Chains A and B, each alone.
Chain A
Amino acid sequence: MDPAAAKLIGAGIACIGMGGAGVGVGVIFGHYLAAALRNPSAAQGQFGNLIFGFAVTEALGIFSLLVALLLLFAL
Chain B
Amino acid sequence: MDPIHQFDVTKLYVFGHLGGAEIAFTISALYMLLSVALIALLMIGATAQRAVVPGRLQSAAEISYEFVANALQSTAGPEGMKFFPLVFSLFMFIATVNLIGLIPYTFAVTAQIIITSALALLVFLTVIVYGFWTHGWRFLRIFVPPGVPVYMLPLVSTIEVLSFLSRPFSHSVRLFANILAGHITLKVFAGFVVMLGAWGALGWLGAVLPLGLTVALTALELLVAFLQAYVFAILTCIYLNDAIHGGH
Contacts and interface: CB of A to CB of B under 8 A. Distances in A.
B231 interface: yes
Contact of B234 (A45, A51, A58, A65): A51
Given A48-B74, A52-B238, A65-B177, A59 B170 contact: yes
Instruction: Specify the main secondary structure of chain B where it touches its partner.
Output: helix
Interface stretch (B21-29, B46-54, B87-95, B178-186): B178-186
A52 B4 contact: no
Nearest to B75: A48
A19 to B, nearest CB: 16
B174 interface: yes
Given A48-B75, A48-B234, A65 B181 contact: yes
B69 to A, nearest CB: 13
B235 interface: yes
B107 to A, nearest CB: 18
Interface residues of A, number: 15
Given A45-B74, A48-B71, A48-B74, A55 B174 contact: yes
Interface residues of B, number: 18
Interface in B51-75: 71, 74-75
Instruction: Specify the main secondary structure of chain A where it touches its partner.
Output: helix
A33 interface: no
Contacts of B227: 51
B173 interface: yes
Q: Top 8 closest A-B pairs, CB basis?
A: A55-B231, A62-B177, A59-B174, A66-B177, A73-B4, A59-B170, A65-B181, A48-B74
Interface of B: 4, 71, 74-75, 170, 173-174, 177-178, 180-181, 184, 227, 230-231, 234-235, 238
Given A55-B235, A62-B173, 6 more contacts: A48-B71, A52-B234, A58-B174, A65-B181, A66-B173, A69-B184
